[in-house]
């Protein structure tokens, strides 16, 4: 097997043992660790099919016994017992086949979910910014489940039905060599029709999966933006949009059903029944076979009904599974330009930062957001970055921990290009608190200790006190064990930001970036947090992105941004005298 070593922003330490060269090879590489289950499935399918032949063969023998003169009834009980025992054994083998297929399907689903989740965690923020969440969720849930269904019932029925096709070919000629003709012709035309059917079905199942992803994307966006939608009274318009997407999904499913309905396997089965029976009767009339042989042979032909009936949906399930595998693999293989650089620098940060001729733009943008930026920050300094909305302040801060990589130029931390640092080591020592705070649907304690899972309760409380969060946490009935809603919706904006500050204080970062992180805090609380930030800034390099004069005044260096460029830098007093752009910010 080959393994595709695509760059990853961050990957857990698990060996990539899967072949990514094609969807089918990728599926087989997932199956290969479970060949013992495949063997159980195949053995069960062979045994099930062989024992299914016992019934028509022994039924034919019974007919011959009863047609003797006089009838030989002594063989009926042994024949009945043999049929009964054989079908019990057949049932056990069929159970083994079904259990093996289901076990394989569930293990496959688990492994694929694991691989996909690890891959998604390893993608860069550029990838996540461009990839719709709804489509990702459709691939991670529905498409992964379709691969499961591909094996159970898909592959399970295909393997079992294939064995049933072989039985008349092997056992029909035992009565007369020419009786192989009907099952042989059926098999040839069956697989010709199947190949044509699958060729037509493949693009349809691709379209089914894609349209479902589009519908899910719109659903996700609608739920995320439900407040805006309701505020603008656009519920009816969104319902119409969703109905359009749902109609598209319905139409493509209907088209798939129409394609399946026009599959000619049932016609071939009818022709096989008629042709085989006529052939057997002609041989009987010629005295070449007896009545029992006619009965047994026709019973064998009826075994062809199983592969015929299952092929109308089992192969459709396999085609859908391959289409889903193609979508999952495309997501896994989506290239990211960031890599974790496991062999890079891992020392403790001092906090010296230098931007040298840095320019940056997002992949989908036509122009640079940041243009030719150069400045240097000494360890322990506090830097305030100010400027109008959209000037590029946040993008600048995210270049430090390689949330994004520069388009041109270099960013140095302690004299080392950030791309030469071990990414995990670099990020563990940098904490960024953004205006849009994200909290997990977990306890307040778990949210605060997210960056330091092994933190003691005393450490969590100390960080909360420093962030002015301890008092309001105690107001909750379960205090630190209180579970917050998704994204922290049960907390106010100021409370979320103080939890984020506590999370940052607990990790004790060497570089701290506060991106307008006190915007939702009232004036009384701001004074307390300001003192906490001042204490937290001691001994570490701190970047503050804000418009609040109270936070800007005490910065060692103030950088004024305008349209992605530095237009002024210096202390507050200096800039108020020398920079019109800086003084204009406060006049506004």
- For residues 501 and 514, what is the distance between their CA atoms, to the nearest angstrom? 9
Residue 68 neighbours by CB distance under 10 Å: 10
With a cut of 60, say whether residue 136 has pLDDT above it. Answer: yes
- For residues 176 and 109, what is the distance between their CA atoms, to the nearest angstrom? 47
- For residues 235 and 229, what is the distance between their CA atoms, to the nearest angstrom? 6
Average pLDDT over residues 162-187: 91
With a cut of 60, say whether residue 528 has pLDDT above it. Answer: yes
With a cut of 60, say whether residue 331 has pLDDT above it. Answer: yes
CA atoms within 13 A on the CB side of 91: 6
Q: What is the pLDDT of residue 449?
A: 85
- What share of the chain has pLDDT > 90, as a percent? 12
Q: What is the rounded average pLDDT for all residues in the chain? A: 81
Pick the more confident residue, 432 or 547. 432
Q: What is the pLDDT of residue 5?
A: 42
Question: What does the angle CA 511 – CA 517 – CA 521 come to, to the nearest 5 degrees?
Answer: 140
How many residues in total does the chain contain?
A: 588
Q: What is the pLDDT of residue 117?
A: 84
Residue 162 tokens read as 């294939």
Q: How confident is the model at residue 184 (pLDDT cuts 50, 70, 90)?
A: very high
Q: What is the pLDDT of residue 576?
A: 76
* Pair 103, 96: CB distance under 8 Å: no
Residue 58 tokens read as 């022994």
Top mean pLDDT of 258-272, 277-291, 465-479 is at: 277-291
Question: Which of 501, 505, 515 shows the shortest CA–CA distance to 539?
Answer: 505
Beta-strand ranges (E) seen in 137-260 are none
Count Cβ atoms within 10 A of the Cβ of residue 26 and give its class: 0-12 exposed, 13-18 middle, 19 or more buried.
buried
Residue 263 neighbours by CB under 8 Å, 6+ apart: 193, 197, 311, 312
pLDDT tens for 275-329 read 999 999 999 998 898 998 999 999 999 999 888 888 877 888 888 888 888 888 8
pLDDT tens for 476-501 read 888 888 888 665 566 777 777 788 88
* Pair 520, 346: CB distance under 8 Å: no
pLDDT tens for 63-106 read 888 887 788 788 888 888 998 999 999 999 989 899 999 999 99
Residue 409 tokens read as 């130029």
Average pLDDT over residues 338-353: 79
Q: Which CATH architecture has domain 353-587?
A: 3-Layer(aba) Sandwich (3.40)
Q: How confident is the model at residue 225 (pLDDT cuts 50, 70, 90)?
A: low
Residue 386: φ, ψ to 5°: -125, 160
Residue 412 tokens read as 């140095």
Alpha-helix runs per DSSP H in 123-180: 125-130, 133-138, 144-149, 156-171
Average pLDDT over residues 153-171: 89
Q: What is the pLDDT of residue 2?
A: 37
Count Cβ atoms within 10 A of the Cβ of residue 78 and give its class: 0-12 exposed, 13-18 middle, 19 or more buried.
exposed
With a cut of 70, say whether residue 411 has pLDDT above it. Answer: yes
In angstroms, how far is the first alpha carbon of the chain from the final one? 63
What is the domain partition of the chain in residue ranges?
23-333, 353-587
Tokens 């032909």, residue?
A: 301
pTM for the full model? 0.70
Reduced to 3 states (helix: H, G, I; strand: E, B; else coil), residue 393 is: helix
Average pLDDT over residues 155-159: 89
- For residues 189 and 533, what is the distance between their CA atoms, to the nearest angstrom? 78
Q: How confident is the model at residue 7 (pLDDT cuts 50, 70, 90)?
A: very low
Average pLDDT over residues 406-435: 84
Q: What is the pLDDT of residue 585?
A: 67
Helix (H) or strand (E) holding 247: helix 235-261
Reduced to 3 states (helix: H, G, I; strand: E, B; else coil), residue 545 is: strand
Long-range contacts of 582-587 (CB under 8 A, 24+ apart): 582/386, 582/558, 585/386, 585/387, 585/388, 585/547, 585/560, 586/549
Q: How confident is the model at residue 230 (pLDDT cuts 50, 70, 90)?
A: low
Q: How confident is the model at residue 1 (pLDDT cuts 50, 70, 90)?
A: very low
Alpha-helix runs per DSSP H in 286-354: 291-302, 305-333
* Pair 366, 374: CB distance under 8 Å: no
* Pair 128, 85: CB distance under 8 Å: no
Instruction: Please name the fold of domain 23-333.
Output: ABC transporter transmembrane region fold (1.20.1560)
Q: How confident is the model at residue 135 (pLDDT cuts 50, 70, 90)?
A: confident
With a cut of 70, say whether residue 520 has pLDDT above it. Answer: no
With a cut of 80, say whether residue 518 has pLDDT above it. Answer: no
pLDDT tens for 105-117 read 999 888 888 888 8
- What share of the chain has pLDDT > 70, as a percent? 86
The DSSP secondary-structure symbol of 221 reads H
Pick the more confident residue, 180 or 554. 180
Reduced to 3 states (helix: H, G, I; strand: E, B; else coil), residue 541 is: strand
């Amino acid at each position: 097997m080959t393994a595709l070593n695509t760059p990853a922003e961050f990957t857990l330490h698990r060996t990539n043992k899967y072949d990514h060269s094609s969807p089918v090879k990728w599926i087989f590489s997932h199956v290969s660790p479970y060949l013992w289950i495949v063997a159980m499935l195949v053995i069960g399918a062979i045994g099930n099919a062989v024992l299914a032949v016992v019934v028509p063969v022994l039924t034919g023998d019974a007919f011959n016994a009863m047609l003797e003169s006089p009838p030989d009834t002594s063989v009926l009980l042994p024949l009945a017992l043999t049929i009964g025992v054989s079908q019990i054994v057949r049932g056990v083998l069929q159970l083994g086949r079904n259990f093996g297929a289901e076990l394989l399907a569930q293990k496959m689903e688990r492994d694929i979910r694991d691989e996909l989740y690890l891959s998604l965690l390893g993608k860069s923020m550029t990838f996540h910014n461009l990839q719709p969440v709804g489509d990702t969720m459709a691939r991670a849930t529905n498409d992964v489940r379709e691969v499961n269904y591909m094996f159970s019932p898909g592959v399970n029925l295909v393997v079992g039905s294939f064995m049933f096709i072989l039985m008349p070919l092997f056992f029909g000629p035992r009565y007369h060599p020419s009786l192989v003709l009907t099952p042989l012709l059926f098999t040839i035309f069956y697989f010709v029709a199947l190949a044509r059917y699958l060729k037509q079905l493949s693009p349809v199942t691709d379209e089914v999966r894609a349209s479902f992803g589009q519908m899910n994307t719109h659903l996700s966006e609608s739920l995320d933006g439900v407040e805006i939608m309701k505020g603008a009274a656009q519920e009816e318009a969104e319902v119409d949009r969703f109905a359009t997407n749902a109609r598209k999904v319905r139409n493509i499913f209907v088209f798939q059903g129409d394609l399946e309905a026009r599959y000619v396997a049932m016609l071939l089965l009818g022709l096989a029944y008629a042709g085989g029976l006529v052939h057997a009767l002609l041989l009987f009339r010629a005295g070449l076979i007896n009545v029992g042989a006619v009965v047994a042979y026709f019973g064998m032909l009826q075994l062809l009904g199983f592969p015929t009936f299952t092929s109308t949906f089992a192969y459709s399930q396999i085609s859908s599974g391959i289409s889903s595998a193609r979508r999952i693999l495309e997501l896994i293989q989506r290239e990211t330009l960031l890599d974790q650089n496991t062999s890079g620098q891992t020392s403790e940060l001092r906090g010296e930062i230098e931007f040298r001729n840095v320019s940056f733009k997002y992949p989908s943008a036509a122009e640079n957001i940041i243009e030719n930026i150069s400045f240097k920050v000494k360890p322990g300094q506090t830097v305030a970055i100010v400027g109008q909305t959209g000037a590029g302040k946040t993008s600048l801060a995210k270049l430090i921990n390689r949330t994004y990589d520069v388009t041109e130029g270099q960013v140095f931390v302690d004299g080392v290009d950030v791309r030469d640092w071990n990414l995990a080591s670099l990020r563990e020592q940098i904490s960024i608190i953004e205006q849009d705070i994200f909290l997990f649907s977990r306890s307040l304690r778990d949210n605060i200790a997210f960056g330091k899972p092994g933190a003691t309760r005393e450490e969590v409380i100390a960080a909360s006190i420093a962030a002015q969060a301890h008092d309001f946490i105690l107001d909750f009935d379960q205090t630190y064990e209180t579970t917050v809603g998704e994204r922290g919706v049960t907390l106010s904006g100021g409370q979320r930001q103080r939890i984020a500050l506590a999370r940052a204080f607990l990790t004790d970062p060497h570089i701290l970036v506060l991106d307008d992180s006190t915007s939702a805090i009232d004036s009384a609380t701001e004074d307390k947090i300001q003192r906490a930030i001042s204490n937290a800034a001691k001994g570490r390099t701190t970047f503050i992105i804000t418009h609040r004069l109270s936070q800007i005044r005490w910065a060692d260096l103030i950088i004024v941004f305008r349209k992605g460029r530095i237009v002024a830098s210096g202390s507050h007093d200096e800039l108020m005298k020398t920079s019109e752009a800086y003084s204009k910010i406060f006049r506004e």
